[in-house]
Structure 1
Amino acid sequence: MKNTLLNITLASALITGSLATSSAFAVEGLSANVGATSNYLWRGVTQTDDAAAISGGIDYEHQSGFYAGTWASNVDFGDDASAELDFYLGFGGELGQGVGYDVGYIYYAYPDSAQTDSANEYDFGEVYGSLSYSYFSVSANYGVNNDDGAKWADSALYISADAEFEVTEGLTLGLHVGDYSFDDDYKSDDYSDYGVSLSKGGFTFAVSDTDMDNDDMKFTVSYSIDIDL
Protein backbone atom coordinates (compact mmCIF):
# COMPACT_ATOMS: atom_id res chain seq x y z
CA MET A 1 0.00 0.00 0.00
CA LYS A 2 2.78 2.44 0.86
CA ASN A 3 4.52 1.87 -2.46
CA THR A 4 1.23 2.22 -4.34
CA LEU A 5 0.43 5.51 -2.66
CA LEU A 6 3.97 6.79 -3.30
CA ASN A 7 3.65 5.98 -7.00
CA ILE A 8 0.29 7.73 -7.16
CA THR A 9 1.72 10.82 -5.43
CA LEU A 10 4.63 10.94 -7.88
CA ALA A 11 2.25 10.62 -10.82
CA SER A 12 0.16 13.44 -9.35
CA ALA A 13 3.26 15.62 -9.14
CA LEU A 14 4.11 14.96 -12.79
CA ILE A 15 0.57 15.83 -13.89
CA THR A 16 0.67 18.96 -11.74
CA GLY A 17 3.91 20.09 -13.35
CA SER A 18 2.40 19.67 -16.79
CA LEU A 19 -0.69 21.69 -15.85
CA ALA A 20 1.43 24.42 -14.25
CA THR A 21 3.44 24.75 -17.46
CA SER A 22 0.28 25.56 -19.39
CA SER A 23 -0.81 28.26 -16.91
CA ALA A 24 0.71 30.93 -19.14
CA PHE A 25 -2.43 30.53 -21.26
CA ALA A 26 -4.76 31.23 -18.35
CA VAL A 27 -8.53 31.34 -18.79
CA GLU A 28 -10.44 33.31 -16.18
CA GLY A 29 -12.56 31.01 -14.04
CA LEU A 30 -10.91 27.81 -15.28
CA SER A 31 -9.07 25.58 -12.80
CA ALA A 32 -7.88 22.02 -12.36
CA ASN A 33 -7.41 19.71 -9.42
CA VAL A 34 -5.26 16.63 -8.86
CA GLY A 35 -5.37 14.32 -5.86
CA ALA A 36 -4.27 11.01 -4.39
CA THR A 37 -5.78 9.06 -1.51
CA SER A 38 -5.09 5.84 0.33
CA ASN A 39 -8.78 4.85 -0.03
CA TYR A 40 -11.50 6.51 -2.14
CA LEU A 41 -14.53 6.78 0.14
CA TRP A 42 -17.92 8.02 -1.07
CA ARG A 43 -20.50 8.58 1.62
CA GLY A 44 -18.49 6.40 3.95
CA VAL A 45 -18.20 3.45 1.53
CA THR A 46 -15.01 2.46 -0.30
CA GLN A 47 -15.11 2.76 -4.08
CA THR A 48 -11.73 1.08 -4.58
CA ASP A 49 -11.98 -2.07 -2.45
CA ASP A 50 -9.99 -0.26 0.26
CA ALA A 51 -7.12 0.44 -2.19
CA ALA A 52 -5.49 3.71 -3.22
CA ALA A 53 -6.86 6.07 -5.88
CA ILE A 54 -5.67 8.93 -8.03
CA SER A 55 -8.12 11.55 -9.26
CA GLY A 56 -8.29 14.77 -11.21
CA GLY A 57 -10.74 17.24 -12.64
CA ILE A 58 -11.32 20.51 -14.46
CA ASP A 59 -13.76 23.22 -13.33
CA TYR A 60 -15.14 26.41 -14.79
CA GLU A 61 -16.74 29.07 -12.60
CA HIS A 62 -18.34 32.26 -13.90
CA GLN A 63 -18.65 35.41 -11.81
CA SER A 64 -22.44 35.13 -12.13
CA GLY A 65 -22.36 32.03 -9.93
CA PHE A 66 -22.67 29.44 -12.69
CA TYR A 67 -20.16 26.60 -12.67
CA ALA A 68 -19.53 23.34 -14.52
CA GLY A 69 -16.89 20.67 -14.36
CA THR A 70 -15.77 17.09 -14.66
CA TRP A 71 -13.89 14.76 -12.31
CA ALA A 72 -12.41 11.28 -12.72
CA SER A 73 -10.98 8.55 -10.49
CA ASN A 74 -10.13 4.88 -10.59
CA VAL A 75 -12.63 2.53 -8.89
CA ASP A 76 -12.85 -1.17 -8.04
CA PHE A 77 -16.22 -2.85 -7.37
CA GLY A 78 -15.09 -6.38 -8.22
CA ASP A 79 -16.54 -6.21 -11.75
CA ASP A 80 -15.62 -4.61 -15.09
CA ALA A 81 -15.74 -1.03 -13.82
CA SER A 82 -12.30 0.52 -13.39
CA ALA A 83 -13.04 4.24 -13.71
CA GLU A 84 -15.59 6.81 -12.59
CA LEU A 85 -16.22 9.94 -14.64
CA ASP A 86 -18.46 12.66 -13.18
CA PHE A 87 -20.03 15.63 -14.94
CA TYR A 88 -21.75 18.43 -13.06
CA LEU A 89 -23.13 21.94 -13.37
CA GLY A 90 -24.80 24.29 -10.98
CA PHE A 91 -25.31 27.75 -9.63
CA GLY A 92 -24.26 29.20 -6.30
CA GLY A 93 -24.38 32.52 -4.53
CA GLU A 94 -25.43 34.47 -1.45
CA LEU A 95 -28.95 34.87 -0.10
CA GLY A 96 -27.92 37.62 2.31
CA GLN A 97 -27.06 37.77 6.01
CA GLY A 98 -24.11 35.44 5.35
CA VAL A 99 -26.24 32.58 4.02
CA GLY A 100 -24.90 30.86 0.91
CA TYR A 101 -26.66 28.46 -1.45
CA ASP A 102 -25.71 25.98 -4.16
CA VAL A 103 -27.99 24.02 -6.51
CA GLY A 104 -27.05 21.74 -9.37
CA TYR A 105 -26.97 18.38 -11.12
CA ILE A 106 -24.28 15.69 -11.20
CA TYR A 107 -23.98 12.60 -13.40
CA TYR A 108 -21.87 9.63 -12.28
CA ALA A 109 -20.62 7.56 -15.23
CA TYR A 110 -18.74 4.24 -15.22
CA PRO A 111 -17.73 3.86 -18.89
CA ASP A 112 -16.51 0.26 -18.75
CA SER A 113 -18.96 -1.19 -16.20
CA ALA A 114 -20.89 -3.22 -18.81
CA GLN A 115 -18.07 -4.62 -20.92
CA THR A 116 -19.06 -8.24 -20.31
CA ASP A 117 -22.62 -7.78 -19.04
CA SER A 118 -24.86 -5.18 -20.67
CA ALA A 119 -27.22 -5.30 -17.67
CA ASN A 120 -24.40 -4.13 -15.39
CA GLU A 121 -24.36 -0.55 -16.65
CA TYR A 122 -25.01 1.60 -13.57
CA ASP A 123 -24.59 5.25 -14.45
CA PHE A 124 -26.89 7.52 -12.46
CA GLY A 125 -27.57 11.17 -11.78
CA GLU A 126 -28.50 13.38 -8.85
CA VAL A 127 -29.97 16.81 -8.34
CA TYR A 128 -28.61 18.57 -5.27
CA GLY A 129 -28.92 21.66 -3.14
CA SER A 130 -27.14 23.07 -0.11
CA LEU A 131 -27.23 25.96 2.32
CA SER A 132 -24.27 27.28 4.29
CA TYR A 133 -23.73 29.72 7.09
CA SER A 134 -20.46 30.56 8.82
CA TYR A 135 -18.74 27.22 9.58
CA PHE A 136 -21.79 25.05 8.83
CA SER A 137 -23.54 23.61 5.80
CA VAL A 138 -26.40 21.20 5.07
CA SER A 139 -27.05 19.51 1.74
CA ALA A 140 -29.42 17.08 0.02
CA ASN A 141 -28.88 14.86 -3.05
CA TYR A 142 -31.76 13.11 -4.83
CA GLY A 143 -31.22 10.26 -7.33
CA VAL A 144 -32.63 10.60 -10.87
CA ASN A 145 -32.30 9.04 -14.36
CA ASN A 146 -30.42 5.91 -13.37
CA ASP A 147 -29.44 3.03 -15.68
CA ASP A 148 -30.94 -0.44 -15.18
CA GLY A 149 -27.92 -1.53 -13.12
CA ALA A 150 -28.41 1.34 -10.68
CA LYS A 151 -32.08 1.01 -9.78
CA TRP A 152 -31.10 1.51 -6.14
CA ALA A 153 -30.20 5.11 -6.98
CA ASP A 154 -33.65 6.06 -8.24
CA SER A 155 -35.35 8.38 -5.74
CA ALA A 156 -32.57 7.75 -3.20
CA LEU A 157 -32.04 10.67 -0.83
CA TYR A 158 -28.76 11.56 0.84
CA ILE A 159 -28.86 14.31 3.47
CA SER A 160 -25.69 15.53 5.16
CA ALA A 161 -24.43 18.17 7.57
CA ASP A 162 -20.86 19.43 7.70
CA ALA A 163 -18.80 21.88 9.70
CA GLU A 164 -15.27 23.23 9.25
CA PHE A 165 -13.24 25.09 11.87
CA GLU A 166 -9.71 26.46 11.74
CA VAL A 167 -8.32 25.11 15.01
CA THR A 168 -4.93 26.74 14.50
CA GLU A 169 -3.28 28.63 11.66
CA GLY A 170 -3.57 26.54 8.50
CA LEU A 171 -5.07 23.51 10.28
CA THR A 172 -8.75 22.79 9.60
CA LEU A 173 -11.00 20.42 11.51
CA GLY A 174 -13.88 18.93 9.54
CA LEU A 175 -16.96 17.19 10.94
CA HIS A 176 -19.48 15.24 8.85
CA VAL A 177 -22.66 13.23 9.31
CA GLY A 178 -24.83 11.85 6.53
CA ASP A 179 -27.94 9.71 6.09
CA TYR A 180 -28.66 7.68 2.93
CA SER A 181 -32.25 6.47 2.46
CA PHE A 182 -33.64 4.47 -0.47
CA ASP A 183 -37.09 3.72 -1.85
CA ASP A 184 -39.22 0.81 -0.65
CA ASP A 185 -37.46 -1.83 -2.78
CA TYR A 186 -34.09 -1.07 -1.14
CA LYS A 187 -35.25 0.22 2.26
CA SER A 188 -33.17 -2.37 4.10
CA ASP A 189 -30.02 -0.77 2.64
CA ASP A 190 -30.54 2.57 4.42
CA TYR A 191 -27.50 3.68 6.40
CA SER A 192 -25.76 6.63 8.05
CA ASP A 193 -22.12 7.66 7.84
CA TYR A 194 -19.87 9.80 10.06
CA GLY A 195 -16.48 11.40 9.61
CA VAL A 196 -13.81 13.58 11.22
CA SER A 197 -10.87 15.07 9.34
CA LEU A 198 -7.83 17.29 9.80
CA SER A 199 -6.46 19.20 6.81
CA LYS A 200 -3.38 21.33 6.24
CA GLY A 201 -1.36 22.31 3.19
CA GLY A 202 -3.28 20.03 0.83
CA PHE A 203 -2.95 16.98 3.10
CA THR A 204 -5.98 15.46 4.85
CA PHE A 205 -6.13 12.75 7.50
CA ALA A 206 -9.65 11.41 7.98
CA VAL A 207 -11.55 8.86 10.03
CA SER A 208 -14.83 7.56 8.63
CA ASP A 209 -17.42 4.99 9.69
CA THR A 210 -20.97 3.85 8.93
CA ASP A 211 -23.67 2.06 10.89
CA MET A 212 -23.77 -0.81 8.38
CA ASP A 213 -23.20 -4.31 9.67
CA ASN A 214 -19.68 -5.73 9.20
CA ASP A 215 -18.30 -2.32 8.18
CA ASP A 216 -15.09 -1.30 9.93
CA MET A 217 -13.89 2.21 10.75
CA LYS A 218 -11.63 3.52 7.98
CA PHE A 219 -8.58 5.77 8.18
CA THR A 220 -7.44 7.63 5.06
CA VAL A 221 -4.61 9.93 4.07
CA SER A 222 -4.96 12.10 0.98
CA TYR A 223 -3.27 14.96 -0.82
CA SER A 224 -4.76 17.35 -3.36
CA ILE A 225 -3.94 20.62 -5.06
CA ASP A 226 -5.89 23.17 -7.12
CA ILE A 227 -4.35 24.89 -10.13
CA ASP A 228 -5.55 27.98 -11.99
CA LEU A 229 -5.49 27.40 -15.75
Structure 2
Amino acid sequence: MNKKKYVPVLALLALSLTPLASQAEVTANVAASSNYYWRGITQSDDGAAVSGGIDYASDTGFYAGTWLSNIDFGDAASTSYEMDLYAGFAGSIDDIGYDVGYIYYAYPDAEGDIGFGEIYGSVSWQWLSAGASYLVNAENDATDEEDMLYLELNASFTILKDTELALHFGHSSGDTVEEWYGEDTSYIDYGVSVSKSGFTFGLLQTDLDADDDLKAYVSYSLDFEL
Protein backbone atom coordinates (compact mmCIF):
# COMPACT_ATOMS: atom_id res chain seq x y z
CA MET A 1 0.00 0.00 0.00
CA ASN A 2 1.18 3.50 -0.76
CA LYS A 3 0.21 6.71 0.96
CA LYS A 4 0.38 10.51 0.68
CA LYS A 5 0.54 14.29 1.34
CA TYR A 6 1.99 17.49 3.00
CA VAL A 7 -0.87 19.59 4.29
CA PRO A 8 -3.03 18.48 1.45
CA VAL A 9 -2.04 20.45 -1.64
CA LEU A 10 -1.18 18.55 -4.83
CA ALA A 11 0.62 21.19 -6.78
CA LEU A 12 3.07 22.59 -4.24
CA LEU A 13 6.21 20.98 -2.89
CA ALA A 14 7.06 23.87 -0.59
CA LEU A 15 5.40 24.14 2.85
CA SER A 16 3.73 27.49 3.50
CA LEU A 17 3.59 28.81 7.06
CA THR A 18 2.36 32.40 6.71
CA PRO A 19 0.45 33.93 9.67
CA LEU A 20 -3.31 33.47 9.62
CA ALA A 21 -5.66 36.33 8.78
CA SER A 22 -6.88 38.61 11.55
CA GLN A 23 -10.47 37.38 11.15
CA ALA A 24 -11.92 33.90 10.90
CA GLU A 25 -12.51 32.77 7.33
CA VAL A 26 -13.60 29.78 5.28
CA THR A 27 -11.78 29.03 2.03
CA ALA A 28 -11.94 26.32 -0.60
CA ASN A 29 -9.49 24.89 -3.12
CA VAL A 30 -9.68 22.76 -6.24
CA ALA A 31 -6.86 21.30 -8.30
CA ALA A 32 -6.15 19.02 -11.24
CA SER A 33 -2.82 17.28 -11.75
CA SER A 34 -1.27 14.85 -14.20
CA ASN A 35 -0.27 12.68 -11.22
CA TYR A 36 -0.81 12.61 -7.46
CA TYR A 37 2.41 12.12 -5.50
CA TRP A 38 2.86 11.71 -1.76
CA ARG A 39 6.43 11.70 -0.53
CA GLY A 40 7.67 10.88 -4.00
CA ILE A 41 5.29 7.93 -4.57
CA THR A 42 2.33 8.01 -6.95
CA GLN A 43 -1.08 7.66 -5.31
CA SER A 44 -2.99 7.55 -8.60
CA ASP A 45 -1.13 4.73 -10.38
CA ASP A 46 0.57 7.36 -12.56
CA GLY A 47 -2.80 8.69 -13.67
CA ALA A 48 -4.41 12.11 -13.41
CA ALA A 49 -6.00 13.31 -10.17
CA VAL A 50 -8.65 15.86 -9.30
CA SER A 51 -8.84 17.18 -5.75
CA GLY A 52 -10.61 19.73 -3.61
CA GLY A 53 -10.90 20.89 -0.05
CA ILE A 54 -12.47 23.29 2.44
CA ASP A 55 -10.60 25.04 5.26
CA TYR A 56 -11.61 27.06 8.30
CA ALA A 57 -9.12 29.38 10.03
CA SER A 58 -9.82 31.50 13.09
CA ASP A 59 -8.08 34.61 14.38
CA THR A 60 -6.74 32.55 17.30
CA GLY A 61 -4.55 30.50 14.96
CA PHE A 62 -6.75 27.40 15.08
CA TYR A 63 -7.60 25.81 11.73
CA ALA A 64 -9.40 22.71 10.50
CA GLY A 65 -10.27 21.29 7.14
CA THR A 66 -10.90 18.40 4.84
CA TRP A 67 -9.48 17.44 1.44
CA LEU A 68 -10.45 14.77 -1.11
CA SER A 69 -8.78 13.27 -4.17
CA ASN A 70 -9.26 10.29 -6.44
CA ILE A 71 -6.59 7.62 -5.94
CA ASP A 72 -5.54 4.26 -7.37
CA PHE A 73 -3.29 1.91 -5.40
CA GLY A 74 -3.47 -0.83 -8.04
CA ASP A 75 -3.29 -4.30 -6.51
CA ALA A 76 -2.09 -2.96 -3.15
CA ALA A 77 -5.57 -1.88 -1.98
CA SER A 78 -9.03 -1.57 -3.48
CA THR A 79 -10.16 2.02 -2.98
CA SER A 80 -11.05 4.92 -5.28
CA TYR A 81 -10.70 8.06 -3.19
CA GLU A 82 -8.91 9.55 -0.21
CA MET A 83 -10.44 11.92 2.34
CA ASP A 84 -8.13 13.79 4.70
CA LEU A 85 -9.31 15.38 7.95
CA TYR A 86 -6.95 17.71 9.79
CA ALA A 87 -6.79 20.34 12.50
CA GLY A 88 -4.01 22.36 14.05
CA PHE A 89 -2.70 25.64 15.29
CA ALA A 90 -0.48 28.01 13.30
CA GLY A 91 1.01 31.43 13.84
CA SER A 92 4.28 33.28 14.24
CA ILE A 93 6.63 34.61 16.89
CA ASP A 94 8.56 37.54 15.51
CA ASP A 95 9.96 36.23 12.18
CA ILE A 96 9.49 32.53 12.99
CA GLY A 97 6.34 30.80 11.77
CA TYR A 98 5.04 27.59 13.31
CA ASP A 99 2.37 24.98 12.62
CA VAL A 100 1.39 21.94 14.71
CA GLY A 101 -1.52 19.60 14.11
CA TYR A 102 -2.99 16.19 13.37
CA ILE A 103 -4.07 14.69 10.04
CA TYR A 104 -6.06 11.53 9.38
CA TYR A 105 -5.93 9.85 5.96
CA ALA A 106 -9.25 8.05 5.39
CA TYR A 107 -10.33 5.71 2.56
CA PRO A 108 -14.11 5.37 3.03
CA ASP A 109 -14.75 2.93 0.17
CA ALA A 110 -11.77 0.65 0.83
CA GLU A 111 -12.43 -3.07 1.28
CA GLY A 112 -10.30 -3.08 4.43
CA ASP A 113 -9.55 -0.65 7.24
CA ILE A 114 -6.50 1.16 5.83
CA GLY A 115 -6.79 4.66 7.31
CA PHE A 116 -4.06 6.14 9.49
CA GLY A 117 -3.18 9.34 11.32
CA GLU A 118 -0.09 11.47 11.87
CA ILE A 119 0.89 14.33 14.11
CA TYR A 120 2.97 17.02 12.43
CA GLY A 121 4.91 20.13 13.26
CA SER A 122 6.92 22.65 11.28
CA VAL A 123 8.74 25.95 11.59
CA SER A 124 9.56 28.54 8.93
CA TRP A 125 11.75 31.58 8.48
CA GLN A 126 11.52 33.80 5.41
CA TRP A 127 11.99 31.41 2.45
CA LEU A 128 12.94 28.28 4.42
CA SER A 129 10.77 25.76 6.29
CA ALA A 130 11.37 22.43 8.05
CA GLY A 131 8.84 19.90 9.29
CA ALA A 132 8.31 16.46 10.81
CA SER A 133 5.37 14.03 10.72
CA TYR A 134 5.00 10.88 12.80
CA LEU A 135 2.54 8.00 12.49
CA VAL A 136 0.51 7.76 15.72
CA ASN A 137 -2.43 5.52 14.85
CA ALA A 138 -3.38 3.13 12.07
CA GLU A 139 -6.36 0.92 11.25
CA ASN A 140 -6.01 -2.86 11.28
CA ASP A 141 -5.15 -3.26 7.59
CA ALA A 142 -2.96 -0.17 7.19
CA THR A 143 0.24 -1.43 8.83
CA ASP A 144 1.38 -3.90 11.48
CA GLU A 145 4.30 -1.72 12.56
CA GLU A 146 2.96 1.81 13.30
CA ASP A 147 6.49 3.18 12.99
CA MET A 148 7.06 5.92 10.42
CA LEU A 149 8.80 9.30 10.67
CA TYR A 150 8.94 11.83 7.85
CA LEU A 151 11.35 14.78 7.90
CA GLU A 152 11.32 17.48 5.25
CA LEU A 153 13.14 20.66 4.30
CA ASN A 154 11.62 23.14 1.86
CA ALA A 155 12.67 26.41 0.27
CA SER A 156 10.65 28.83 -1.82
CA PHE A 157 11.88 31.81 -3.84
CA THR A 158 10.30 34.39 -6.11
CA ILE A 159 12.01 34.48 -9.49
CA LEU A 160 11.19 36.74 -12.39
CA LYS A 161 7.72 38.30 -11.94
CA ASP A 162 5.16 36.43 -9.80
CA THR A 163 6.91 33.10 -10.41
CA GLU A 164 7.79 30.81 -7.52
CA LEU A 165 10.67 28.35 -7.49
CA ALA A 166 10.27 25.66 -4.80
CA LEU A 167 12.81 23.07 -3.64
CA HIS A 168 11.99 20.03 -1.50
CA PHE A 169 13.95 17.32 0.32
CA GLY A 170 12.29 14.60 2.40
CA HIS A 171 13.35 11.53 4.37
CA SER A 172 11.01 8.65 5.32
CA SER A 173 12.09 6.11 7.92
CA GLY A 174 10.66 3.37 10.14
CA ASP A 175 9.42 -0.20 9.96
CA THR A 176 6.21 0.88 8.22
CA VAL A 177 8.27 2.18 5.30
CA GLU A 178 9.84 -1.24 4.90
CA GLU A 179 6.44 -2.94 5.16
CA TRP A 180 4.85 -0.70 2.51
CA TYR A 181 7.70 -0.53 0.01
CA GLY A 182 9.56 -3.77 0.64
CA GLU A 183 13.03 -2.24 0.79
CA ASP A 184 15.20 -0.56 3.41
CA THR A 185 13.57 1.10 6.39
CA SER A 186 14.29 4.54 4.95
CA TYR A 187 14.35 6.42 1.65
CA ILE A 188 14.65 9.99 0.43
CA ASP A 189 12.56 12.00 -2.00
CA TYR A 190 13.48 15.33 -3.53
CA GLY A 191 12.10 17.67 -6.13
CA VAL A 192 11.86 21.09 -7.70
CA SER A 193 8.84 22.98 -9.03
CA VAL A 194 8.02 26.26 -10.75
CA SER A 195 4.60 27.87 -10.19
CA LYS A 196 2.79 30.88 -11.61
CA SER A 197 -0.87 31.94 -11.65
CA GLY A 198 -2.02 28.57 -10.29
CA PHE A 199 -0.02 26.49 -12.79
CA THR A 200 2.83 24.28 -11.59
CA PHE A 201 5.45 22.21 -13.37
CA GLY A 202 7.52 19.93 -11.19
CA LEU A 203 10.20 17.24 -11.20
CA LEU A 204 10.75 14.72 -8.41
CA GLN A 205 12.65 11.56 -7.65
CA THR A 206 13.25 8.99 -4.88
CA ASP A 207 16.17 6.68 -4.12
CA LEU A 208 13.94 3.58 -3.88
CA ASP A 209 15.34 0.82 -6.09
CA ALA A 210 11.88 0.00 -7.45
CA ASP A 211 10.86 3.61 -8.06
CA ASP A 212 13.92 5.74 -8.78
CA ASP A 213 12.98 7.20 -12.16
CA LEU A 214 12.83 10.98 -12.58
CA LYS A 215 9.15 11.98 -12.63
CA ALA A 216 7.46 15.07 -14.04
CA TYR A 217 4.00 16.49 -13.42
CA VAL A 218 1.88 19.50 -14.28
CA SER A 219 -1.02 20.86 -12.25
CA TYR A 220 -3.42 23.75 -11.89
CA SER A 221 -4.93 24.88 -8.58
CA LEU A 222 -7.45 27.51 -7.59
CA ASP A 223 -8.21 28.94 -4.13
CA PHE A 224 -11.20 31.10 -3.24
CA GLU A 225 -13.09 32.43 -0.21
CA LEU A 226 -16.55 31.17 0.70
TM-score calculated relative to the size of structure 1: 0.82
CA–CA distance in 1 between the matches of 2:57 and 2:67? 15
1:100 to 97, 104, 120: 97
- Provide Cα deviations, 1:118-155, integer angstroms capped at 9, x if missing partner: xx321000000000000000000000110122226723
Corresponding residue number in structure 1 for 2:5? none
Contact preservation (8 Å) 2:52, 2:69: yes
Q: Which has the higher contact order (CA 8 A, sep 6+)?
A: 2
Corresponding residue number in structure 1 for 2:151? 159
Q: Structure 1 pair 48/153, CA: closer, same or farther in 2 (3 Å)?
A: farther
1:177 aligned to 2:174?
A: no
- Provide Cα deviations, 1:54-80, integer angstroms capped at 9, x if missing partner: 000000000111000000000000132
- Provide Cα deviations, 1:24-80, integer angstroms capped at 9, x if missing partner: xxx951000000000000010000000000000000000111000000000000132
Computing the radius of gyration over CA atoms, which structure comes out larger, 1 or 2?
1
CA–CA distance in 2 between the matches of 1:174 and 1:149? 35
CA–CA distance in 2 between the matches of 1:146 and 1:104? 17
CA–CA distance in 1 between the matches of 2:168 and 2:176? 26
Counterpart of 1:73, as a letter, is: S
1:59 to 37, 55, 66: 55
1:127 aligned to 2:138?
A: no
CA–CA distance in 2 between the matches of 1:150 and 1:192? 21
Corresponding residue number in structure 2 for 1:14? none
- Provide Cα deviations, 1:163-218, integer angstroms capped at 9, x if missing partner: 00001111000000000001389372421000100000000000010000132111
Corresponding residue number in structure 2 for 1:90? 88
1:40 to 36, 39, 43: 36
Counterpart of 2:110, as a letter, is: S
CA–CA distance in 1 between the matches of 2:130 and 2:163? 22
**Aligned sequence identity (%):** 51
CA–CA distance in 2 between the matches of 1:42 and 1:199? 18
Task: Kindly report structure 1 stretches of 4+ aligned residues shifted beyond 2 Å.
Answer: 183-189
Gaps of 5+ in 2: 1-22
TM-score calculated relative to the size of structure 2: 0.83
CA–CA distance in 2 between the matches of 1:209 and 1:161? 15
Report the aligned-residue RMSD: 1.7
Equivalent pairs, count: 197
2:209 to 203, 213, 221: 213
2:193 to 183, 197, 208: 197
CA–CA distance in 2 between the matches of 1:82 and 1:183? 26
Corresponding residue number in structure 2 for 1:226? 223
SS of corresponding position for 2:208: coil
Q: Which deviates more, 213-222 or 170-179?
A: 213-222
Gaps of 5+ in 1: 1-26, 115-119
